[in-house]
């Protein structure tokens, strides 16, 4: 960085602005893609697990008096939370900057 005279001059004039322009991770497309893939895979993972649980067969249980009964499986709230957070994060990432 010291060999780049234009960068050194910009740092002398306005270091905060120069630092924000040069080292803004949001402006790097490589980091943006990594975050996008990670959040997208979390969304797909939660959808797949929730679908498997929702479509699986009901649980067969025996009551205290000895009678068998079935109970439908419920999707764990953890997977609902992960899916909701991933949808919100994708929406935030894909909205254009003002």
Which of 47, 56, 54 lies closest to 82 in space, CA to CA? 47
| 11-37 tens-digit pLDDT | 888 888 877 777 666 667 888 889 889
7 — pLDDT class (breaks 50, 70, 90): confident
For residues 22 and 7, the answer to whether their CB atoms sit within 8 Å is yes
| 33-79 tens-digit pLDDT | 898 899 999 999 999 999 999 899 898 999 999 999 998 888 899 99
The whole-angstrom separation of Cα 25 and Cα 22 is 9
pLDDT for 9 beyond 90: no
Hey, what are 70's tokens? 């079935």
Mean pLDDT, range 69-96, rounded to an integer: 90
């Amino acid at each position: 960085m010291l060999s780049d005279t234009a960068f050194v001059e910009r740092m002398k004039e306005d270091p905060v602005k120069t630092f924000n322009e040069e080292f803004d991770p949001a402006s790097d497309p490589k980091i943006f893609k990594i975050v996008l893939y990670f959040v997208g895979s979390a969304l797909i993972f939660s959808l797949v697990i929730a679908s498997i649980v929702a479509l699986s067969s009901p649980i067969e249980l025996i009551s205290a008096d000895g009678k068998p009964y079935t109970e439908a499986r419920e999707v764990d709230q953890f997977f609902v939370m992960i899916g909701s957070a991933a949808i919100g994060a994708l929406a935030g990432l894909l909205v254009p900057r003002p």
